[in-house]
């Protein structure tokens, strides 16, 4: 009987350690996504070569669709992209990827996109592809892609989505942010997932 009594504190201690460990595990576990049906995917190109969505694995990514000839929404959004990246500290910047995908495959070449995105921040990745690749990327992200009728000079605008897709390190959608979000809010959205990035 006395031996059993002596073992009791040890059993309690083991259980307590186990419960603490389980609690720490739950605190460190990435929460379930709010968008389980969302399956992001793309294989596109920048000035250096081919980039796939899987290349972003392990990082927190913010992705936006548009085109370089966009007169208002795209430059304003990319301006906030750049400001948000500057608000991150050096260690945080290593864990974040900002991606701008052009839907205008007829006019936006990888080289043109590289020059365009560098204007807003050198770390913004500009991607494009052929019609099939862009259509597949837009479909995966449920982004509208519509070329409007050209004017007399042959210039045209495009209808495109305005959401910012904040992607978690595990490749799942973490948040749908607005293109009107200020840099500080974009940073808060990124920092919500950075602790799981590598």
Mean pLDDT of the chain: 88
pLDDT above 80 (res 144): yes
**H or E segment at 164?**
strand 163-167
Cα–chain-centroid distance for residue 154? 34
Give the tens place of pLDDT for each residue, 48-102.
Answer: 999 999 999 999 999 999 999 999 999 999 999 999 999 999 999 999 999 999 9
Cβ(167)–Cβ(40) under 8 Å?
Answer: yes
pLDDT at 20: 39
Confidence of residue 3 (pLDDT cuts 50, 70, 90): low
CA neighbor of 54 nearest in space, from 45, 65, 43: 43
Cα distance between residue 187 and residue 175, in whole Å? 12
Residues 6+ apart with CB under 8 A from 88: 96, 187, 190
- Judged by DSSP in three states, 85 sits in helix
**pLDDT at position 29, please?**
84
Percent over 70 (pLDDT), the chain:
86
Length of the chain: 198
Spatial separation of the C-alpha atoms in residues 27 and 21, rounded to whole Å: 10
pLDDT for 4-48, tens place per residue? 555 545 544 444 444 434 333 334 789 998 998 899 999 999 999
Q: What angle do CA 126, 127, 130 make, to 5 degrees?
A: 150
């Amino acid at each position: 009987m006395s031996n059993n009594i002596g073992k009791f504190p040890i059993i309690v201690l083991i259980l307590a350690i186990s419960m603490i460990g389980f609690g720490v595990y739950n605190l460190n576990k990435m929460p379930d996504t709010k968008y389980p049906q969302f399956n992001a995917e793309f294989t596109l190109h920048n000035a250096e070569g081919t980039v796939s969505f899987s290349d972003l694995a392990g990082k927190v990514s913010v992705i936006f669709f548009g085109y370089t000839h966009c007169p208002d929404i795209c430059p304003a959004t990319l301006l906030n992209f750049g400001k948000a990246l500057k608000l991150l500290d050096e260690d945080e910047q290593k864990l974040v990827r900002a991606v701008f995908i052009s839907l205008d495959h007829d006019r936006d070449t990888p080289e043109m996109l590289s020059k365009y995105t560098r204007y807003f921040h050198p770390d913004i990745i500009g991607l494009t592809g052929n019609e099939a690749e862009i259509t597949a990327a837009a479909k995966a992200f449920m982004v509208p892609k519509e070329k409007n009728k050209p004017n007399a000079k042959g210039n045209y605008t495009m209808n495109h989505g305005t959401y910012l897709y904040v992607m978690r390190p595990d490749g799942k959608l973490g948040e749908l942010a607005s293109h009107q979000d200020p840099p500080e809010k974009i940073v808060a959205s990124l920092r919500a997932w950075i602790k799981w990035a590598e």
